[in-house]
Amino acid sequence: MADPTEPVIIATFTAALGLFAFTANMRRSFKPKLSPAPVADAWDEDSDAPLISAEPPEIPIGKVATWFYRPLDLLGIGLIFVVFFSLVIATVRASGKPDMELSSAALIQSIVFQFIIAGIAAAIVIPRIRPVEWLGLCWPKWPRVLLIAPASVLGMWAFFGGLQASGYIKWIESFGVESVQDTVKILQKSNDLTILGLMSFAAVIVAPLCEEIVFRGYLYAAMKKFSGPWVACLCSALIFAAAHGSFAALLPLLVFGCLLVFIYEKTGSLWAPMAVHFCFNGATVVIQMAARYYHIPLDVAP
């Protein structure tokens, strides 16, 4: 049976973009058109009442602000989509070639790329709003991450357990696809300490920082501006899942992406999903290293 990874990844990216474009266009088409006021929210010199604004104030849904996003951000959304789509498809096609091994140079390039794409997302937004306000970095209730992060990790593990019990892993393997992500296989099998160190650094530090800035901080919030929170959550999570290039991990990462959006909206601070992402990836690395060096047998979920 042919490997379904590439067509499934392409379909996931396409579904995300199509759903977002359709919803954004529908919302724009049905948006009420009001008569423009001379000066929005200004006071008439001969009246005690303020003039009516050209557009009604935006009603906040959740704690992630979107008022500073503009139609130009549609290009930013498109840029992120194209970059990840192109990179993932190229990676999936290359992974099928014989003698394809991951090198230290490739890992360093991947780390640099993640910082660059996060920097581009930040550069788009920062001229309009300070990073502290954009990402909710001044979060007075930050100690809550000590509860949110481990609870979220345990919840994801319970979800993995449910998938395992339901036969999801065997179903994935019936397509001739590996049920374990390449990054996990590297942690399990590589004997190169440099590669192990770079992989651990990328998973525990780089991914929680850069991926949260790109996928939750920018992509989700910008999509929310044009399509609403529910569609933005689903579409950004689909792109997040597809961007990892794994057929087996697609469903778990979709659920994880939605969970991270939910936590971001509930807290209003990117510190919370970053902490959850850090704990989840960190726990995975620790468990794999412990299983490897202490010869603990594991049935690894994707």
Domain residues of the chain, as ranges?
5-24+60-95+102-293
Which residues have CB under 8 Å from 255's CB, separation 6+? 156, 159, 237
Calculate mean pLDDT across residues 277-300: 80
Bridge partners of residue 109, in order along the sequence = none
Of 169, 153, 136, 144, residue with least CA distance to 256: 153
Highest average pLDDT, of 58-72, 152-166, 167-181, comes from 152-166
Which residues have CB under 8 Å from 29's CB, separation 6+? none
pLDDT digits (tens, 9 = 90+) for 188-215: 777 788 888 999 999 999 999 999 999 9
Calculate mean pLDDT across residues 171-180: 82
Rounded to whole angstroms, the Cα distance separating 258 from 237 reads 6
Calculate mean pLDDT across residues 220-245: 97
Number of H helices, E strands in the chain: 12, 0
The letter for the amino acid at 12 is T
Rounded to whole angstroms, the Cα distance separating 165 from 173 reads 14
Calculate mean pLDDT across residues 229-256: 96
Bridge partners of residue 43, in order along the sequence = 50
Calculate mean pLDDT across residues 260-284: 96
Contact of 206 with 114, CB cutoff 8 Å: yes
The letter for the amino acid at 271 is W
Contact of 38 with 47, CB cutoff 8 Å: no
Burial class (CB in 10 A: 0-12, 13-18, 19+), 105: exposed
pLDDT of 37 above 50 = no
Q: What does pTM read for this prediction?
A: 0.87
Task: Pick 240 or 103 by higher pLDDT.
Answer: 240
pLDDT digits (tens, 9 = 90+) for 97-153: 544 567 888 899 999 999 999 999 999 999 999 999 999 999 999 999 999 999 999
Which residues have CB under 8 Å from 56's CB, separation 6+? 32, 34
**Two tokens at 294?**
């202490």
Residue 54: which pLDDT band, with cuts at 50, 70 and 90?
very low
**Two tokens at 23?**
């919803």
Of 247, 215, 231, residue with least CA distance to 23: 231
Contact of 199 with 181, CB cutoff 8 Å: no
Residue 84: which pLDDT band, with cuts at 50, 70 and 90?
very high
| Choice among 40-49, 89-98, 106-115, 211-220 with the minimum mean pLDDT | 40-49
Give phi and psi for 274, each to the nearest 5: -60, -45
| Choice among 32-41, 203-212, 280-289 with the minimum mean pLDDT | 32-41
